[in-house]
Structure 1
Amino acid sequence: MAVYAIGDIHGFSGQLDRALRLVEADGGADAPVVFLGDYTDRGPDSRGVLDRLIEGREAGRPWRFVQGNHDRMFLNFVTTGEQHDANIESRKSWLNAALGGPATLGSYGLGGEPMFLLSANGGWETLASYEVDPDRVMSGQELIGAAAEAIPDAHIRFLSDLELWVEHDDLLFVHAGLRPGIPLEQQVEDDLIWIRQGWLDDTRDHGRLVVHGHTALEHPAHHGNRVNMDGGAGYGRPLVPAVFENGEVFTLTEQGRAPLRPETG
């Protein structure tokens, strides 16, 4: 049975709409789709992305949703006020434009310019104030409260219910990857949504083909033991869906299926 995958969306709802049209054209309205996380941040319409995904789930579409690191950061900010993640080596705040928090908040009417303290909090970039407009400057606590009011409960529930992995026949879908050599049930969340080192250069057979995102490329790529579906939509490149069927992988284009074969050399 064919299954479809869509990589990191990062708030680009127009790209999501296009990807879903390609999936439906290939597999019909009831095609099973696994979304690989990072639905929010950087793009202009994180709210619209979550609306579309929730609408599809509530309409009974056979869709599964994996948690990405950006989804966890967004959820943590809204629910606990936490703006950092220990996995960010640069110690940037989620509210730094490079990570995309302001763009996400902007889709809920809270776009703004953050000002940071760099020497406080052990060197972590810490929000000092957030200028929504010249007449509306918020403290960190005020911004947390405003976000809690602006973001629908349905979005919080959706982000809270995301899965860490999805198994489908001989495929394993996960956001970032696996810690090689460790059984799936013993994998830790931080690796599943953040890992790069020790994973991207590992060529061993993981027992099944691992389909992931997280590490942006110019286009999805098949590495033999894994398929990286993050084609860089978060940086303005097209969101490219793929279909997995009978051991083969195809990306979907306006002209139909295009084989995605393992890279050599």
Structure 2
Amino acid sequence: MQTYAIGDIHGHFDLLRGVHDLIADDMARHGAGQVVHVGDLVDRGPASAAVVEYLRCGIEAGQDWVVLRSNHDRLFTTFMADPALRDPCLRADLSWLHPKIGGAETLRSYGVRSAGDRPIEKVHADARGLVPQADVEFLNSRPAWHRANGVIFVHAGVRPGIAIEHQSEDDLCWIRAGFLDHDGPFEALIVHGHTAIDVPTHYGNRVNIDSSAAYGGPLSVVVIEEGEVFHLTTAGRVPLQPPQAG
């Protein structure tokens, strides 16, 4: 059975529905499969609330969907718990509501206005009244990794040399240095997002599927079946090949 993996969504509900349509068409030809979303449901895009509700309700209704924990989704739920709390991996000069992070757009999708221009206590009070607790609990309960079809799916990456069961959540949600520059094998092929690139890319030991939906790029989906990786497009499956040795 094939496994599908969708990259970082960042509040683009229209793009999410589009790739789910691609998956439905592919399943009609190849049979059912599980769908893994590698996180970053929220921030920067216009419809984070719709994305979270759609995925939460789909899973509650029995869809074979997996949604992974990620740094942006973690920033959202941390703010909802206590706006004074800081994620230890976030740069000291940034906050979730900083324009570079995009939390204000997430709150706007829930009906919280002018989140970047009002006292944080008032913004938080509005958010507590408008963001469904079911959405917060859903994001908080997401797993940080998933294994299927001989592949490990995470949001950001893994720390080399550490078994997936012993990886820290901070690394699984945030890592770049030490992972992206590692050219040796991992315990399995790693499929991840978090680091925006132009198109899904197979590096041999990992596959990055964050094709910059947060910055105006497309939302990408890959298919893993019998050890092969394919980029799923409107023209069908396109083999995603690692670089040739030598």
Normalization by structure 2: what TM-score? Answer: 0.94
CA distance in 1 between counterparts of 2:242 and 2:113 reads 42
2:243 match: 263
1:235-246 alignment, distance < 5 Å:
235-246=215-226
What do the CA deviations read for 1:94-150 (whole angstroms, capped 9, x no partner)?
101110001001101113262xxxxxxxxxxxxxxx3xxxxxxx4211111110110
1:153 to 124, 133, 136: 133
**Is the 8 Å Cα contact of residues 83 and 94 (structure 1) preserved in structure 2?**
no
| Equivalent residues in 2 for 1:165-244, closer than 5 Å | 165-244=145-224
Q: How large is the Cα RMSD of the aligned pairs?
A: 1.5
Find the counterpart in structure 2 of residue 12 from structure 1: 12
Structure 1 equivalent of residue 41 of structure 2: 39
Distance in 1, matches of 2:138 and 2:119, equals: 27
Q: Could you say what secondary structure the match of 1:252 adopts?
A: strand
Deviations 1:179-208 (A, max 9, x none): 101122221111110000011010111121
CA distance, structure 1, for counterparts of residue 85 and residue 96 of structure 2 = 5
Residue in structure 2 matched with residue 111 of structure 1 by the alignment: 113
Letter in 1 for 2:2: A
> Secondary structure, in 3 states, of the residue corresponding to 1:109?
coil
> Structure 1 residues 34-43 or 19-28, which shifts more?
19-28
Amino acid corresponding to residue 102 of structure 1 in structure 2: A
SS for the counterpart of 1:97 is coil
Alpha-carbon distance in structure 2 between the residues aligned to 1:100 and 1:186: 31
CA contact (8 A) 1:30 1:62 kept: no
SS in 2 for 1:146: helix
* Residue in structure 2 matched with residue 164 of structure 1 by the alignment: 144
Counterpart-to-counterpart distance in 2, 1:240 and 1:113:
30
Distance in structure 2 (CA, Å) of the matches to 1:145 and 1:21: 37
SS at match of 2:190: strand
> What TM-score results when the alignment is normalised by the length of structure 1?
0.88
Query: What amino acid does structure 2 have at the position aligned with 1:156?
Result: V
User: Match of 2:38, as an amino acid?
Assistant: L
Query: Does the Cα contact within 8 Å between 2:97 and 2:115 map onto a contact in 1?
Result: no
Query: 1:31/1:183 Cα in 2 relative to 1: closer, same or farther (>3 Å)?
Result: closer
Q: Residue 54 of structure 2 corresponds to which residue in structure 1? A: 52
- SS in structure 2 at match of 1:214: coil
Distance 1:159 1:113, change over 3 A: closer
More strand by share: 1
Code of the residue aligned with 1:204 in structure 2: it is: G
2:227 alignment counterpart:
247
Whole-angstrom distance in 2 between the partners of 1:200 and 1:76: 26
1:82 Cα deviation after fit? 3.8
Aligned identity (percent) is 44
Alignment partner, residue 119 of structure 2: 139
